[in-house]
Amino acid sequence: MDIASSSLCQAHKVALTRQPSPPVNSCSLGSVSVIGFSLPQISSPSLAKCGRKQSSFSSVRACVAVEQKTRTAIIRIGTRGSPLALAQAYETRAKLQAKHPELTEDGAIHIEIIKTTGDKILSQPLADIGGKGLFTKEIDEALINGHIDIAVHSMKDVPTYLPEKTVLPCNLVREDVRDAFICLTAASLADLPAGSVVGTASLRRKSQILHKYPSLSVEENFRGNVQTRLSKLQGGKVHATLLALAGLKRLSMTENVASILSLDEMLPAVAQGAIGIACRTDDDKMASYLASLNHEETRLAVACERAFLETLDGSCRTPIAGYAAKDEEGNCYFRGLVASPDGTKVLETSRKGPYVFEDMVKMGKDAGQELLSRAGPGFFGN
């Protein structure tokens, strides 16, 4: 899991103009991006028939246009429109194509951008407008309505409940779960002068920062995609920020990292670094495709962490962190944390047991119940 931190720590300048490379065969249609469509081959049976009826080149071109318009993709993927969300959709597409040759055909996979409420409203904290579920609501609706076939999510954005008629049977291999420290002037949180402002919209990060570094200040409504937040940092709105290392790696933007926080310094969000893919409960074809991509070790770890979160009834107003992983003995080791929003109180616990679904879910729930009991009423300031 460890990255060569020494090389990353030398990167003290933020490269803000970098954008992810555009996918091949992509086009934009208003708010919809269609990826993977190209002009069908004229040798297809329907075009051959059409060509025999019309001898002119213009007539053949018209038939091509009609076939392209009416052609149906085998899989329609729904995702948010941020560069990171698109990178995760492209990763999903690539893995599907690697497993299923029929999906390498032009037009077999269609990626559609769905703008969510969470993307539209950036001026207010997530907790004030409905929480993280606002990043998945519209995508879930498109899935239920049959507008898309599968939905690709960052698992840490997915509420602990799933909408009716949907199932989330697949997690891709998990990326590095740690947080990255981004700063133009310091190599770590410990190096920041007293009074420095760290930008983050995460109460989990805020509480852990203030608990360990009470001399620092936190700008809470530091929202936007990775590029937006890096731009705000360069513009001097804050002195530093923290971002999920997984997202930076998926965007090929690790040159922005000044240092990587250890799990002891910053326990990650539940399901951080994991991609989840949902489909409809009655869609056996999509379920079969997703089964071929599922990474079971990741799925079980995420299930353990989400059981912990669900037990705590966690929301965007609740500083919660949790991480489950397989240890050297092949067992599950889980760590969980809750904190007061101001970071003055932090409660932690851990569990160890068999790396089996039922046992891991039980561990997560048991850890959550322990911390609820220890925290007592009013701990979270709600």
Which residues are tagged catalytic?
157
What gap in Å lies between CA 75 and CA 77, rounded to an integer?
6
Residue 32 in tokens: 């919809």
All residues at 6 or more sequence positions from 126 whose CB lies less than 8 Å from its CB, including other chains:
118, 132, 134, 201, 223, 316
| CA Rg value for the chain | 23
What gap in Å lies between CA 303 and CA 362, rounded to an integer?
10
Measure CA 328 to chain center: 27
Contact 318, 339 (CB under 8 A): no
Which one-letter DSSP state was computed for residue 230? H
Q: Are strands 150-154 and 75-79 parallel, antiparallel or unpaired?
A: parallel
Strand partners, 217: 197
DSSP string, 332-380: EEEEEEEE-TTSS-EEEEEEEE-SSHHHHHHHHHHHHHHHHHHH-TTTT
**Whats the size of the chain, residue-wise?**
382
Q: How many helices and strands (H and E) does the chain possess?
A: 13, 15
Q: Please, how many CA atoms are within 13 Å of residue 8, restricted to the half-sphere of its CB?
A: 21
